[in-house]
Structure 1
């Protein structure tokens, strides 16, 4: 059953068409990768889905409800939360306090928020850093704090915007393991990434954008062999000729 349904979503900024009639869905329990070259419209689409600005046209449905144009805070209380490509850790708060901010979406009690935060910190491997100020963390841990803060809201759908960007290969492996563990907790994941090698191993399905349009959707192996996807990432000269692709 679909948890998130995107139906013909279009976003214009004046004369710029950032997304054009994008349609796909994310089923409960899936990890879906949303990929595309730089400038493909991935983050714009994320913003339309997650309430940071409304689509120009089209529909966003979440858990069976039309949530098109809902503000982000309302969606968080409904069970949809996202992280940001640019890390937004509160530098003057501790790691625990950063995560507690997310927990306040579920409770008005400071003690309850602290309990939720400590459980999430344990789950994400951040417990040893609980009392460290956000400003004193390396980028990989800042990204993990933002992810932990999102988890503390108790989401049904976790939307991750380039959570792997800037990480070392070893840190990427750890992040992939954490995303799989999140799915095992029953949380559905929609993951935006620019690097195909990162998103392919963990995605059940992959949606590909190019110039604001969806150009492909399917299992990772099928997407990796898709001529349009190869051309979008590597350039037109890499597109197989029709006879070579067995279509001539």
Structure 2
């Protein structure tokens, strides 16, 4: 039986890096996508050596839609069919909307929403034709409520959550499954880069990316639509809808401001 192939974006760091190991451990071939070509090649050689799986790499900045097109053309030229798509690449700034670098934020929004949607569509088209496949989009627990001081990031993750829930329904009967992973604050380069401005309590509460990747893998294999690591995080996400949104927004701002 031929091994299935998983494509992972943002594959060299954080949750994406942990996903590469989880899938390699389960004997999946890999297509790794990230910006750093040197790091990609080093990671590919390490995974091949340790797990004996086939690893292809594609270096590019997915904040550009032309990179998404180039990636899809690469897959076609190499004859690679993607059985599982992990849309993990994402970024965002922490701070007041009027104080953040707007050009960077526009790139982040392009990456988090537009490029994710475009790649999902291109790969889903191929999956539907073959009548099989799985898609896992990585959102955040920030997706469940407005997030002052992370306004654009949180809103982009809300898009990922609702977009994925919608296409999961649309894809019923096609053989293709769509899931969304909503982790809480995780120990990644994004959060570690902000660590100097955050409290020690908050740093201690960061979840390990290995745990997030493991939870995401298990939820995907169980065909869950929304995957939230940790019972407390699930409870908080579900309870948000029971409270007045203004209260939730005020509370969320206070919570985030305790971290900066």
TM-score, scaled relative to structure 1: 0.32
Higher relative CO (CA 8 A, sep ≥ 6), structure 1 or 2? 1
TM-score, scaled relative to structure 2: 0.31
Q: Which has the higher strand share?
A: 1
Q: Which has the higher helix share?
A: 2
